[in-house]
Amino acid sequence: MTITLRPAPALLSSTETQEPLLAMIGNTPLIPLRKIAPDLRPGVEVYGKAEWYNPGGSVKDRAALWMIRDGERRGLLRPGMRIADATSGNTGIAYATVGAVLGYKVTLALPENASPERKRILNALGAELILTDAQQGMDLAIRTIRDLVASNPDAYFYPDQYNNQANVEAHYQGTGPEIWEQTDGRITHFVAGLGTSGTFMGAGRRLRELNPAIKVIGMQPDGPYHAIEGVKHMATTGMVPGIYDPDLADEIVEIRSETAFETARCLARQEGLMVGISAAANVAAALEVARRLEQGVVVTILCDSAAKYLSDRFWDEPDSACVDGDGI
Ligand code: PMP
């Protein structure tokens, strides 16, 4: 069955076509994962969407561009204003990348223990960083930015990615239809990690509309304390994103941090794919789903590359678990 999509409302305004770097956001490759799971039944295919092909290096470029363009359309972001948000990760890098192209300065609050790689990337892109007490985590970073914006609302645009529908829309209009077309409408299962849940909600909802039989599966860590940067354990987080609707999920798969590390090593050593920890966790969840199937096309998101995680020690572990595809 192949349904041809109506063209999505243009992501790219005329400015994007004049800005080659922004025109490179989206339309990322879909990579078949074959060697990592030789035990899958012959009719089962698994694919990962290579989101590090976005110019800022992650899936969050999509959301940042849509939230910034949406802010401009609504008159909330005007020339001379700064983009301000609390993020220690990819969203900050995405704001700084898009902001640099469009001429907006960026202010980010982040816990002081954010990785040196991240701080260096954000500094290199010219973002202003407000480092907050590590003990108080992202909650303090969020409060700090909210106070800053409230103190001078005309100077700042606060996208608030956890509660901004433009974050979902980026994936409803981009990621979802791209996956549909790249699989010729054959996708049967979509697996995505839950951070803000923008990817899961937007792409999942669009794919479900295109074919109601598609199973939409969320990936989350197995508890509140975990090493899968960028995703949340929804049942225990103090801050459930406003854009998250748990009813969309057919199933939630929980992945241990150790399993994510092991899968990251196997992806590197068997597929030549150097991906980040949440991408590896997504693949682990996709394989868990794929192993139950007689037939199917399982697609997941490779949120970013390994570049920002290279100082993590887990890369140094032996690869015994992935020699023959067993054990993961
Ligand atoms: N993985 C990584 C590395 C991320 O930075 C994010 C964004 N927080 C996600 C996964 C989850 O994406 P989303 O916010 O769309 O749920």
Q: Is the predicted pLDDT of residue 7 greater than 50, yes or no?
A: no
Question: Which residue's alpha carbon is nearest to atom 5 within ligand 1?
Answer: 230
196 within ligand 1 shell (Cβ under 6 A): yes
Residue range 182-211: mean pLDDT, rounded = 98
Asked if 309 contacts 277 with a C-beta cutoff of 8 angstroms, the reply is yes
Express as a percent the part of the chain with pLDDT over 70: 92
CA distance 77 to 67: 10
pLDDT tens digits, one per residue of 53-64 = 999 999 999 999
pLDDT of residue 39: 95
pTM: 0.93
pLDDT of residue 185: 98
Residue 41 alpha carbon to ligand 1 centre in Å: 30
The region that residue 157 occupies, defined by phi over 0 for left and psi between -120 and 50 for alpha, beta otherwise, is beta
Residue range 287-315: mean pLDDT, rounded = 96
97 within ligand 1 shell (Cβ under 6 A): no
Joined tokens for residue 207: 């794919």
Identify the H or E element spanning 105. strand 105-111
pLDDT of residue 78: 96
Active site residue 60: yes
Nearest residue to 89 (alpha-carbon basis) of 230, 218, 225, 211? 230
What atom of ligand 1 comes closest to residue 167's alpha carbon? 15
Q: Is the predicted pLDDT of residue 327 greater than 60, yes or no?
A: no
Convert 146-166 into a string of H (helix), E (strand) and C (coil). HHHHHHCCCCEECCCHHHCHH
Domains and CATH numbers, the chain: 17-58+170-316 (3.40.50.1100), 60-157 (3.40.50.1100)
Residue 194 alpha carbon to ligand 1 centre in Å: 7
pLDDT of residue 9: 46
Residue 212 alpha carbon to ligand 1 centre in Å: 25
Task: Please say whether the dihedral angle defined by the alpha carbons of residues 185, 186, 188 and 194, taken in this order, is positive or negative.
Answer: negative
Q: Ligand 1: which of 54, 59, 216 to mutate, most ligand atoms within 8 Å of CB?
A: 59
Higher pLDDT, 78 or 11: 78
Q: Ligand 1: which of 248, 303, 309 to mutate, most ligand atoms within 8 Å of CB?
A: 303
Q: Is the predicted pLDDT of residue 325 greater than 50, yes or no?
A: no
Task: Please say whether the dihedral angle defined by the alpha carbons of residues 121, 125, 130 and 136, taken in this order, is positive or negative.
Answer: negative
Burial degree of 10 (CB within 10 A; 0-12, 13-18, 19+): exposed
Query: pLDDT class for 10, splitting at 50, 70, 90?
Result: very low
pLDDT of residue 17: 60
Average model confidence (pLDDT) across the chain: 92
Set 49, 58, 60, 215: catalytic member: 60
Residue 301 alpha carbon to ligand 1 centre in Å: 10
How many helices and strands (H and E) does the chain possess? 11, 10
Task: Please say whether the dihedral angle defined by the alpha carbons of residues 133, 110, 246 and 76, taken in this order, is positive or negative.
Answer: positive
Of 202-206, 233-237, 269-273, the range with the lowest mean pLDDT is 233-237
pLDDT tens digits, one per residue of 79-132 = 999 999 988 689 999 999 999 999 999 999 998 888 888 899 999 999 999 999
pLDDT of residue 267: 98
Burial degree of 212 (CB within 10 A; 0-12, 13-18, 19+): exposed
pLDDT of residue 323: 52
pLDDT of residue 139: 78
The region that residue 273 occupies, defined by phi over 0 for left and psi between -120 and 50 for alpha, beta otherwise, is beta
Q: Is the predicted pLDDT of residue 137 greater than 80, yes or no?
A: no
Q: 3-class SS at 127? A: coil
pLDDT of residue 116: 85
pLDDT of residue 326: 43
pLDDT of residue 319: 74
